[in-house]
Amino acid sequence: MKAPSILQKVPYSLRMAILVVIVAKILVFSLGYAANYMNDASASPLTVIMNQFNRWDAPHYIDIARNWYINQGDQRNLIVFFPLYPILIRLATVNFSYMSLSALVVSNVSSIIAFVYLFKLAKLDFDDSVALKAVLFLSIFPTAYFLSAPYTEGLFFALVIASVYYARLSKWPLAGFLGLFAALTRIAGLLLLPTLLVEYLHQKGWKPRKIEANILWIGLALVGFLIYLNINNQVTGNPFTFIEIERTHWSNSINPLTGLAQAFGAVNKPFPENITIGVAPLAFAFLGLLAVAGGFVRRLRPSYTVYMLFTWMLAVSTAWWISVPRYVMAMFPMFILLGLLSRRKAVTIAVTVASVAALCFFTVLFTLGKWAF
């Protein structure tokens, strides 16, 4: 009798979820490759693959991976990008000429791990159908190409979702360490502090007398952020330099009303900017707000709703709403909620068709170097 293969040991429903993710990634990479190839037919296939998503912030992460942070000239402005993702790119790189390929490997391996944990997390409360749909809806979300591009989304999602998953299992040391790494990936990792705290208190029945010393593991997310502040201090002499540079160089400050007004004003811009800078940020901000409301109405686990609320608030808190569609995607409990609300086949098909169409549209725009969040 043959011993079962590793694949056979994986539950069928999880294998289907991974298949969905792979198909979605193939779609994204095919669109990116085709658009980039048509834009530069003389490039080699490997060059096209490495460069097709190397847009906007992506080169900055690769620059940090190659040179670390430097406190001079334009390089000083890169201190706003958190360090863990560039570190992993550097560790995955054998030949610096292929560093863009290393970045793609880190992003895509991380995002596949994120999808596995999203499935496992959904399965703690719901059936295979809801878990599979949660994976489907995230994999085809209109900005899901960031989960395949050299950006922090894949790594951040893997760390945050895994942290919440292990918190659900009361494995607080592991949840805390994953929170530390999440806070070294993006400032949004700090949102795990209230999220894990609410989860902990919920498991204790909201009774203070049941609180134990293991609650302290939650604070590791703050430790991750403090490490980042220390890097700021070592490089620039000021632990809060990133705030100044966000405001002065990246024109980004906490001013949601300005962001809202600018998004409304951009609706009248020429195509496709009217969509990418105007309509889409407004639509996705509203979608995120609906998800938060849905979390309350459908009584999702309190920690899930708290995480969605704070993530949405962070997404719309800036003076520029141009990245709201990408940041709203981080509200991963939203996809579990969508899985719950799409029990009918017609609803699933309608959401899938609309989402895939938007994903294709924005993927091509992004690959061509036009603004797409």
Q: Read off the pLDDT of residues 339-358 as tens digits, 9 standing for 90 and up.
A: 999 988 999 999 999 999 99
pLDDT, residue 6, reads 56
Q: Residues 179, 141, 221, CA angle at the centre, nearest 5°? A: 10
- The SS3 call for residue 209 is helix
- The SS3 call for residue 318 is strand
pLDDT, residue 50, reads 86
For residue 345, what is the DSSP state?
Answer: H
Q: Has residue 69 got a pLDDT over 60?
A: yes
Cis ω on the peptide bond leading into residue 45 (within 30° of 0)? no
Extents of the domains making up the chain: 12-367
Q: Has residue 8 got a pLDDT over 70?
A: no
| Phi–psi pair at 332, nearest 5 degrees | -60, -30
Q: Has residue 25 got a pLDDT over 60?
A: yes
Contact (Cβ atoms closer than 8 angstroms) between residue 341 and residue 129 = no
pLDDT, residue 251, reads 78
Section 157-183 average pLDDT: 98
- Say what percent of the chain tops pLDDT 70: 98
**What's the pLDDT band for 4 if we cut at 50, 70, 90?**
low
Contact (Cβ atoms closer than 8 angstroms) between residue 173 and residue 216 = no
**What's the pLDDT band for 210 if we cut at 50, 70, 90?**
very high
Query: Which residue pairs, CB below 8 angstroms and at least 24 apart, start in 61-69?
Result: 61/85, 61/86, 61/89, 61/103, 61/150, 61/151, 61/152, 62/86, 62/89, 62/99, 62/100, 62/103, 62/150, 65/89, 65/90, 65/93, 65/99, 65/102, 65/103, 66/90, 66/96, 66/99, 69/231, 69/235
Determine what percent of the chain falls in helix, strand and coil, rounding each to the nearest 5. Answer: 75, 0, 25
Section 5-16 average pLDDT: 77
Q: Has residue 11 got a pLDDT over 90?
A: no
Contact (Cβ atoms closer than 8 angstroms) between residue 160 and residue 184 = no
Read off the pLDDT of residues 252-268 as tens digits, 9 standing for 90 and up: 888 888 999 999 999 99
Lowest mean pLDDT among 33-42, 161-170, 290-299: 33-42
Distance CA 32, CA 144 (A): 13
Single pTM value for the model: 0.95
- Single out the residue of 334, 327, 331 nearest to residue 300, CA to CA: 334
Section 324-333 average pLDDT: 97
